[in-house]
Amino acid sequence: MAKTVSGARAGLSVLWPGLAVTVAAVVVSMAVAGLVPAVSALTVAVVLGVVAGNVPGFPVSARAGVAWSARRLLRAGVVLLGLQLSVGQVLGLGAGTVGAVLLVVVVTFAGTVLLGRLLGVSRGLSWLVATGFSICGASAVAAVEGVVERDDEDVATSVAMVTVFGTVSMLGLPVLFSAWGLPAEDAGRIAGGSVHEVAQVVAAASPAGAAAVAIAVVVKLSRVVLLAPVVAVVSLLERRRSAGGGRRPPIMPLFVLGFLLAVALRSSGVLPEVVLGAAKQLTTLLLAGALFALGFSVRVKALLRNGPKAFALGACSTILVTALGITSMLLMP
């Protein structure tokens, strides 16, 4: 017992500097988002992470705790994200919109993997970008990175691409909505069907009004639900490749299963609104901390080294998901 306690204390002593840095980054991110509502706390967190991770002389003692935050906080945040969606909300979208969501995810995922091969991008990076761009950004990258062969640079590059191109979509779509004079419902469905991160979806739909944001979030979370089957399929393919030996990835990470259980719990109607509201706030805090940590892992030099091919893949995938999101959501109401 004494050894266990001493081991836990030793582990905490290694982690606490990085945890303190992560908490401070979350506080700053939330403060900036509060002062500038048009800027998401999650976007601020990623930017802070990239800056901190590339500052010469940043305390080495903080790196272990930040790395711990990247995986643990993101997985906890994804699980709690399930409490924001019920089966009834998905069914309420209608068959056309649900079909459009399926089309966007499947075609974007398969198309991005194919584009990765054509561009000569590594298999691991292609899988990560395909999952992140077709489903839910960094959260999806975190889900699939545990079941594919990849290196840390692939993960960092994927997160960077999600941040860069998701931000471009977040800023560009409202301009299109305004120019085309789209009603709030159509604007929300397109934003939810084509933008990468949940927070970026909210920001993209906000100029069209609260009604647009409401439907955008439901459409986006409907894409998130597809994370489970996509991860399972990718894992089965990877297990087949490694059948002759080596590491066999899990069919589905436990936290993805936890997300589905959270959706089921929300659908049961047993949780009061006060609990759901608190869970939503906690989700934002957890994801902000996780995205700071993921941004911290981005090495600008490595990103520039991978740059041209990764950038081309991210650009092509963004064009694909945006085109699919616009056409399918307008033609399949």
Q: What is the pLDDT of residue 3?
A: 46
- What counts of helices (H) and strands (E) characterise the chain? 15, 0
DSSP string, 154-214: HHHHHHHHHHHHHHHHHHHHHHHHHHHT--HHHHHHHHHHH-SSHHHHHHHHGGG-HHHHH
Nearby residues of 134 by Cβ (< 8 Å), 6 or more positions away? 104, 105, 106, 108, 109, 112, 140, 223, 230, 317, 321
Nearby residues of 10 by Cβ (< 8 Å), 6 or more positions away? none
> Which amino acid would we find at residue 213?
V
Orientation angle between helical segments 152-180 and 300-331, nearest 10 degrees? 40
Tell me whether residue 39 is exposed, middle or buried, using C-beta atoms within 10 angstroms of its C-beta: 0 to 12, 13 to 18, 19 or more.
middle
Q: What is the pLDDT of residue 97?
A: 93
Q: What is the pLDDT of residue 129?
A: 93
The pLDDT tens digits along the chain (333 residues) read 544 444 445 556 778 888 999 999 999 999 998 898 767 787 788 889 888 888 887 777 888 898 888 778 888 888 898 898 888 988 888 999 999 999 999 999 999 999 999 999 988 899 999 999 999 887 788 778 777 777 767 887 888 788 788 888 988 999 999 999 999 999 999 999 999 888 788 878 888 888 898 899 899 989 988 988 888 888 888 777 765 555 565 667 788 889 889 999 999 999 999 999 999 899 889 988 988 887 787 777 766 776 788 889 999 999 999 999 999 999 987
Rounded Cα–Cα distance for residues 204 and 325 (Å):
13
Q: What is the pLDDT of residue 12?
A: 66
Residue 250, Cβ neighbours under 10 Å: how many? 14
- What is the tens place of the pLDDT at every residue in 14-59? 788 889 999 999 999 999 988 987 677 877 888 898 888 888 877 7
Question: Cα 65 to chain center, whole Å?
Answer: 21
